Amino acid sequence: MEPQGERIRAFVAMRVSEEVEAALAEFIQKLSSPRDGIAWSRPDKLHITLRFLGAAVDPALLAPLKEALARIAGQTPPLLVRTCGVGGFPDLRHPRVLWAGLECDRLGELAAKIEDAAVAAGFEPSRRPWAPHLTIGRVRNPHRIRRAVRLLKEAHDRDFGVSRIAEVALYRSRLAPEGAEYERLAAFGFSSPV
């Protein structure tokens, strides 16, 4: 449903394949333990964020952005994205975010086009350079994460598989105590390979 007037939390993202989601879910299950100080991502919520738009987005900015996303998607063939490697931001000594890495030659180019489209639609430029990753957990208590960090270091080059991704979507996010809920506002299919 299209938001009318109220400001929303929104982002542009892609989903990985069910097989990669399942591999990541198994990995997260091995890493997690009760009261480990980490809010782990649910497998059905995993996504590749290409552009976080903001926590209080004016819905009027979404119409020109959607037009641009449709144009970009129509010029983009499906992507093969490998999910491999794990780590933390800013690093594993003092992580705030735990991630699985992404490999795809054209992924950075797509993110740059979406960044340009967002700025042209009226959004502020991103403050940080885009980094290809899937967030698998957020550190809530850094004093309880020793076991998870040790296991992440041991699995630093783990391969979770390849996803064939054929669309990009605009999402609304609602924060809740039990975790964020995502609503897909619009999806834009990539062009068929020539």
- Residues serving a catalytic function are 47, 133
Query: Where do we find the tokens 């698998």?
Result: 136
d(CA 96, CA 91): 8
Please report the DSSP string for 62-106 in residue order.
HHHHHHHHHHHHHT---EEEEEEEEEEES-SSS-SEEEEEEE-TT
Q: Is the peptide bond before 90 cis (omega within 30 degrees of 0)?
A: yes
Strands 79-89 and 97-103: antiparallel
Instruction: Answer positive or negative: Cα dihedral of 94, 107, 173, 27.
Output: negative
**Strand, coil or helix: 155:** coil
